[in-house]
Amino acid sequence: MLKLYIGNKNYSSWSMRPWLVLKQSEIPFEEVKVRFDSFGSGSEFRQTIDALTPVGKVPVLVDDGFVVWDTLAIAEYLAENFPEKALWPQSMHARARARSICAEMHSGFAALRSACPMNVEASLPDIGQLIWRDKPAVRIDVARIVAMWDELLLQHKGPMLFGKFSITDAYFAPVAMRLKTYALPVPASIAAYIGRLCATAGVKAWIDDALLENDFRDFEEPYRLSR
């Protein structure tokens, strides 16, 4: 059986992506959660993950001893191994567009990711207002995301970005979590998509698990001293 190593569900946006692909597509896998700690050389996290991959980060997929790391590599590996799940869109052009925007997420939106770390459990609208007021780069990132999502939802007639749930929706789910946590202003069409995405079985299961963790990590929460 596939084994997926992930970090804390409340914080680990990168872990969320392949986990959702597996969960929402009903691909059997074993989840191994490695709690975020100090990340020091002797920490449990580093000892566990360093034994699997030279990059020392989650997520990590292990398939019968074969190790795959990086979310895009894991997504492609799953798509190739489970073609019947149609994890990417069916048409060549749609697949190319889906891969393009996933790559854009992978390397971009640094301002949003930096100013608004994923925190599923939190509700930080006041912080979101300050970020929106004071950080024009965040406004630029959100404007690009809104334009991207609106175009795809209109073109593919929803309910997900390419019609049905795909790797792309899993890839942007942590972005939806950020927009929700910080209550950043988005049009009604985008808020509706976020609502539909959060209602999917996979995203709902992730959120439910994140809410049960109750594991405050101060270095992941720059805007709170405690819960």
Give 72's pLDDT tier (boundaries 50, 70, 90). Answer: very high
pLDDT digits (tens, 9 = 90+) for 108-127: 999 999 999 999 999 999 99
Weakest mean pLDDT among 36-45, 182-191, 201-210: 36-45
Give 41's pLDDT tier (boundaries 50, 70, 90). Answer: confident
The continuous run of DSSP H or E covering 68 comes out as strand 66-69
Q: Answer for the pair 5, 35: CB distance below 8 angstroms, yes or no.
A: no
Q: CA separation (Å) from 114 to 32, 41, 96, 155, 205? A: 26, 24, 28, 30, 25
| Top CATH class, 2-85 | alpha beta
Transcribe 170-218 into DSSP letters.
HHHHHHHHHHHHTT----HHHHHHHHHHHHSHHHHHHHHHHHHH----G
Percent of the chain with pLDDT strictly greater than 70: 100
Domain edges within the chain: 2-85, 92-210
Residue 4 DSSP SS3:
strand
Q: Return the pLDDT at 89.
A: 97
Closest C-alpha to 157, from 104, 99, 101, 89:
89
Q: Answer for the pair 141, 104: CB distance below 8 angstroms, yes or no.
A: no
pTM exceeding 0.95: yes
What CA–CA distance (Å, rounded) separates 186 from 182?
11
Give 226's pLDDT tier (boundaries 50, 70, 90). Answer: confident
pLDDT digits (tens, 9 = 90+) for 130-181: 999 999 999 999 999 999 999 999 999 989 999 999 999 999 999 999 999 9
Q: Return the pLDDT at 215.
A: 95
Q: Answer for the pair 98, 78: CB distance below 8 angstroms, yes or no.
A: no
Q: Tokens in use for 215?
A: 């594991």
Q: Return the pLDDT at 71.
A: 97
CATH 1.25.40.10 fits 92-210, yes or no: no
Q: Return the pLDDT at 225.
A: 84
